[in-house]
């Protein structure tokens, strides 16, 4: 078992799943929507990036930009279909979740119908060089994935801290009713949030496609992993998601070294269940009233 | 607009000049009637009519009710009574759902004999799948609807039981009749394991966790060699369908076995949801748990109980599944299976058995019969699900209720847009008042007041001021007659403080023994002044009402 390879892999995956988890977390805490269509947005932006690579240019920035842009558009689509019509209706949380599941069903099947079941692969974005950092051999795509996800996530978090729109989103996260009272448009902010989180999904999709392929159902497993990370960190907490991503990454690396690769999911869920039994609202979640949408 | 009125009584005293007073023109009371009748604002129908067919006769028969074991329920909820108008005896069937259930089950039972020859295979296979999925969905409905636990791990339990029993059947020669029993044990064990986090986690945390569990099962089964990672499933288990039968007979047996499984699922749903556990849990809906707990309802224990019972049943169905299909496939754990099943529940309506069955019928039909459509059939299912979630509150079976609520809303909007002031009864009040005279009296009274309001002019007030008592002009006389006719409570009166010197206005209490109350502080020096003040007060009340 190659330690350095496992650690590099774990860090990369942790960064990518952390990106997804933060998107899910922000959506839940600001809109009260569990976005089950995240897998669909993920697959859609993979196809967007693939189309861009096919027809525009295989340049890394173009492909990544196209992926992020498609993800943002997909997020806005989901918002228009599943958030805008029912966000003020009774029983929104359940209905919203089911609506996003329906969007995911329709979207995935439409992707299958349009692009066919064959998986597509994206061109390598970061070249194929290798460097050694502290004795750990990192390939360029892993370094690129880690660096770009960290940079873009920091940019997003910085934007949320310092800009007017970010202030609105944070206000919605704290208290949606009070935010609506002081004049923050719920629907408009919904579009910002969904575009932002969709963009994050697009980024994760492009980065993960360096290792895996783009397919109509390729988004399901990353979504489940992202959900578990978000859940484990505490829905609504960015900080918790980061800690949880790191924890699960370490767990994944340790398990594959100690027990073997096929036990990763088992130990992962055992860990998640353990964490949730100790802290039912996740690592950084406050055991208080849940967000009432 | 004014005319002079000559007092006809003046003729009895020819020495005095004829008394002449300026008063209103004659206004016919008919004018008010015509105005009311010609009132033609668009008036949409308002009222609360609910039609139940009334069956003739009741009596001794009503007391000999057929009740079915082990409950004390009647087959049909029939109430007897009398028609309030004709006093004829009548019966009403309060709840017709049993009739619909029996008819639909009969239709399902005889359906195989009416299928065209060339579609026998497809439809009978789909029918068996429908039975199995309907049973699974009924159990899941118990978990989501009755227990209120958002568990998405239903297929983890079913799949585990299916895989476990198939594995035992292949490697240890378990006969087909033991597979559902072994499956139930596996299901119960899995249920206990899955239920542990449910005691701590709430709502969506639990839903997401169970979603992860299903994914875990799927990945494990795909990777594990014993569970057929190479062959794409575990096949070769014993089956209740004898392989030496002709194919049509095999399909028929599978169809009826699926149907029997569904009926067992329905009975389970009935006995859990409709009896003690269901009642207890209906007391503790979401966000009102604290109240239920305060009243002594142990809803946590009830929820876990329902969860375990459903897990046991799901395990049974899992064993049946592997006995039906001679094995199990990893597609049981796939995200799409869960999604389709959720679509079945949502389309029919969460929380009701008929919703689960109808939703399953629709989705299985689209999924298994319209195979030629390819991926478009999933798009159709998803669109259906999306539309139902966006527009319906309780699925297809909630349409009636939602439509009634919407109609009531529209009615009350119409009512408020045409409601008039002045004491007329609102339509709903009117339909529920026993004494219909009151309605007509109030309507008449309102018309009369509207008419009298037109008669109040400065001329007749001046006439009254000059001579409060005695013969008056026609208009003033009508007004005064109306005032005198009013009921005793809160009627104005004059009290004498000192004869010929000071008078005050009071209002009668209307109750014997209760003194009148003072209306104002003013003291009048003569009876006529007091009479006129009292008149003005009544006029004011009339105009304000």
B304 inside domain = yes
Count CB atoms within 10 A of the CB of residue B134: 26
B288 belongs to a structural domain: yes
Residues B288 and B381 reside in one and the same domain: no
Domain that holds residue B499: 2-36+438-544
Interchain proximity A99–B386, CB inside 8 Å: yes
Instruction: State the smallest CA–CA distance between residue A117 and chain B in angstroms.
Output: 11
Do residue B145 and residue B273 come from a single domain? yes
- How far is residue B27's CA from residue B2's CA, in Å, rounded to a whole number? 11
| B269 and B407 co-located in one domain | no
A86, A272, A290: residue with CB nearest B212: A272
Q: B13 burial class (0-12, 13-18, 19+ CB within 10 angstroms)? A: exposed
B200 and A277 within 8 Å at the Cβ level: the answer is: yes
Q: Under a CB-based contact definition with an 8 Å cutoff, are residues A200 and A19 in contact?
A: yes
ipTM for the predicted complex: 0.86
Residue in the structure block whose two tokens are 């340790």: A254
Q: Which residues of A touch B (CB under 8 A)?
A: 34, 39, 81-82, 85-86, 90-91, 93-95, 97-99, 101-106, 109-110, 112-113, 217, 220-221, 224, 227-228, 230-231, 235, 262, 265-266, 269, 272-273, 276-277, 280-282, 290
Residue B526 sits at φ, ψ, to 5 deg, of -140, 160
Residue B446 placed within a domain: yes
Q: What share of chain A is helix, strand, coil (3-state, %, to 5)?
A: 70, 5, 25
Answer yes or no: do B225 and B319 share one domain: yes
Q: Which of B197, B202, B390 sits opposite A277 (nearest CB)?
A: B197
Tokens of B511: 């109750």
For residues A78 and A103, the answer to whether their CB atoms sit within 8 Å is yes
Contact criterion met (CB < 8 Å) for A227 and B213: no
Measured between beta carbons, which residues in chain B are less than 8 angstroms from residue A106?
378-379, 382-383, 386
Q: Determine the residue of chain B that is closest to A82 in CA distance.
A: B390
Final residue belonging to a domain, choices B284, B311, B333:
B333
Domain locations along chain A: 3-218
For residue B204, tell me if it sits in a domain: yes
Judge if B275 and B128 occupy the same domain: yes
Q: How many domains does chain B have?
A: 4
CB–CB contact A81 B207 (8 Å): no
Q: Are residues B366 and B467 in the same domain?
A: no
Per-residue pLDDT tens for A225-236? Answer: 888 888 888 877
- The per-residue pLDDT string of chain B (545 residues; one tens digit each, 9 = 90 and over) reads 788 998 888 888 888 888 888 998 899 999 988 888 776 666 666 566 667 788 887 666 666 777 877 777 788 888 888 888 888 888 888 888 889 999 999 999 999 888 888 888 888 999 999 999 999 999 999 998 888 888 888 899 999 999 999 999 888 888 888 899 999 999 999 999 888 887 777 777 788 888 888 888 888 888 777 777 767 778 888 888 888 888 888 999 999 999 999 999 999 998 898 888 888 888 888 778 888 889 888 888 888 999 999 999 999 999 999 999 888 888 888 888 888 898 999 898 888 889 999 999 999 999 888 888 888 888 999 999 999 998 988 889 989 889 989 988 888 887 776 666 556 777 777 788 888 898 888 888 888 999 999 999 999 999 999 999 989 999 999 999 999 999 988 899 999 999 999 999 999 998 999 999 999 899 999 999 999 999 999 999 999 87
Distance from CA of B325 to the nearest CA of A (A): 26
Min Cα distance B444 → chain A (Å) is 44
For chains A and B, what is the number of CB pairs under 8 angstroms? 118
CA of A60, closest CA in chain B: separation in Å? 32
The reply to whether B465 and B387 lie within a common domain is: no
In a shared domain, residues B327 and B348: no
Q: What residue has token string 């209740």?
A: B240
Q: Is residue B419 part of a domain?
A: no
Residues of chain B with Cβ-Cβ distance to A112 below 8 Å are 375
B258 plus B162 within the same structural domain: yes
* Same-domain status, B390 and B519: no
Nearest CB partner across the interface for A102, out of B212, B335, B386:
B386
| Secondary structure string (H, E, C) spanning B41-101 | CCCCCCCCCCCCCEEECCCHHHHCCCECCCCCCECCEEEEEECCCCCCEEEEEEECHHHHH
CA distance A256 to A236: 30
Instruction: Decide if pLDDT at A293 tops 50.
Output: no
Q: Choose the final residue of a domain: B379, B414, B449.
A: B414
Q: Are residues B78 and B133 in the same domain?
A: no
B324 and B349 inside one domain:
no
């Amino acid at each position: 078992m190659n330690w350095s390879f496992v650690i590099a892999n774990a860090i990369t995956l942790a960064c990518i799943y952390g990106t997804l988890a933060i998107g899910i977390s922000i959506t839940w805490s600001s809109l009260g929507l569990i976005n089950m269509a995240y897998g669909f947005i993920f697959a859609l932006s993979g196809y967007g990036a693939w189309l861009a690579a096919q027809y525009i240019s295989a340049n890394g920035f173009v492909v990544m930009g196209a992926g992020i842009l498609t993800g943002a558009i997909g997020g806005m689509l989901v918002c228009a279909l599943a958030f805008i019509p029912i966000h003020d209706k009774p029983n929104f949380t359940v209905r919203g979740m089911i609506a996003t599941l329906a969007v995911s069903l329709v979207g995935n099947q439409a992707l299958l119908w349009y692009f066919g079941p064959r998986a597509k692969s994206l061109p390598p974005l970061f070249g194929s060089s290798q460097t050694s950092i502290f004795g750990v051999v990192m390939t360029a795509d892993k370094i690129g994935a880690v660096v770009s996800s960290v940079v873009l996530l920091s940019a997003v978090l910085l934007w949320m801290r310092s800009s007017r729109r970010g202030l609105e989103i944070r206000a919605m996260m704290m208290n949606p009713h009070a935010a609506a009272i002081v004049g923050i448009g719920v629907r408009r902010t919904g579009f910002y949030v969904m575009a932002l989180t969709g963009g994050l999904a697009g980024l994760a999709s492009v980065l993960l496609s360096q290792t895996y392929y783009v397919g109509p159902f390729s988004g399901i497993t990353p979504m489940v992993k992202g959900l578990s990370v978000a859940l484990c960190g505490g829905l609504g907490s960015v900080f918790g998601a980061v800690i949880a991503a790191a924890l699960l990454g370490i767990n994944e690396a340790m398990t594959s070294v100690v027990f073997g690769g096929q036990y990763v999911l088992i130990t992962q869920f055992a860990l998640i269940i353990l964490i949730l039994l100790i802290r039912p609202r996740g690592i950084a979640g406050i055991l208080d009233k849940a967000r009432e949408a | 607009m004014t005319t002079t009125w000559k007092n006809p009584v003046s003729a009895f005293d020819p020495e005095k000049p004829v008394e002449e007073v300026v008063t209103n023109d004659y206004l016919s009371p008919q004018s008010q009637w015509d105005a009311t009748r010609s009132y033609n604002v668009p008036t949409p129908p308002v009222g609360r009519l609910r039609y139940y067919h009334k069956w003739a006769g009741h009596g001794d028969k009503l007391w000999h009710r057929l009740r079915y074991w082990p409950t004390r329920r009647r087959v049909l909820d029939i109430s007897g009574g009398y028609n309030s108008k004709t006093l004829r005896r009548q019966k009403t069937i309060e709840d017709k759902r049993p009739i619909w259930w029996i008819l639909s089950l009969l239709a399902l039972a005889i359906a195989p004999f009416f299928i065209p020859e060339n579609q026998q295979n497809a439809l009978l296979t789909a029918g068996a799948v429908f039975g199995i999925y309907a049973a699974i969905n009924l159990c899941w409905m118990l978990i989501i609807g009755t227990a209120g636990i958002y568990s998405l791990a239903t297929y983890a339990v079913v799949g585990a039981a299916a895989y476990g029993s198939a594995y035992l059947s292949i490697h240890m020669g378990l006969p087909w009749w033991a597979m559902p029993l072994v499956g139930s044990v596996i299901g119960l064990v899995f249920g206990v394991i899955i239920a542990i986090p449910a005691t701590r986690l709430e709502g969506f945390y639990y839903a997401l966790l169970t979603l992860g569990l299903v994914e875990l099962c799927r990945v494990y089964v795909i990777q594990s060699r014993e569970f057929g990672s190479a062959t794409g499933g575990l096949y070769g288990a014993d089956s209740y369908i004898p392989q030496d039968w002709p194919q049509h007979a095999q399909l028929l047996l599978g169809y009826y076995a699926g149907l029997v499984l569904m009926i067992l699922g329905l009975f389970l749903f009935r006995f859990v949801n409709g009896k003690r556990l269901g009642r207890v849990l209906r007391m503790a809906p979401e966000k009102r748990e604290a109240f239920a707990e305060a009243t002594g309802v142990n809803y946590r224990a009830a929820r876990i109980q329902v969860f375990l019972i459903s897990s046991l049943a799901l395990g049974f169905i899992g064993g049946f599944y592997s006995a039906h299909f001679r094995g199990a496939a990893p597609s049981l754990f796939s995200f799409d299976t869960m999604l389709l099943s959720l679509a079945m529940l949502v389309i029919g309506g969460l929380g009701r058995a008929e919703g689960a069955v109808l939703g399953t019928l629709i989705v299985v039909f689209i999924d298994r019969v319209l195979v030629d459509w390819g991926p478009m059939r999933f798009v159709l299912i998803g669109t259906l699900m999306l539309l139902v979630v966006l527009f319906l509150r309780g699925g297809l079976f909630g349409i009636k209720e939602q439509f009634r609520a919407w109609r009531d809303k529209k009615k009350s909007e119409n009512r408020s847009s045409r409601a008039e002031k002045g004491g007329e009864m609102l339509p709903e009040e009117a339909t529920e008042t026993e004494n219909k005279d009151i309605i007509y009296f109030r309507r008449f009274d309102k018309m009369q007041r509207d008419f009298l309001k037109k008669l109040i002019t400065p001329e007749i007030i001046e006439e009254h001021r000059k001579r409060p008592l005695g013969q008056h002009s026609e208009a003033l006389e009508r007004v005064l007659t109306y005032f005198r006719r009013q009921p005793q409570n809160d009627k104005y009166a004059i009290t004498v403080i000192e004869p010929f010197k000071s008078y005050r206005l009071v209002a009668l209490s209307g109750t014997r023994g209760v003194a009148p109350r003072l209306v104002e502080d003013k003291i009048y020096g003569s009876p006529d002044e007091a009479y006129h003040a009292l008149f003005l007060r009544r006029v004011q009340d009339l105009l304000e009402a």
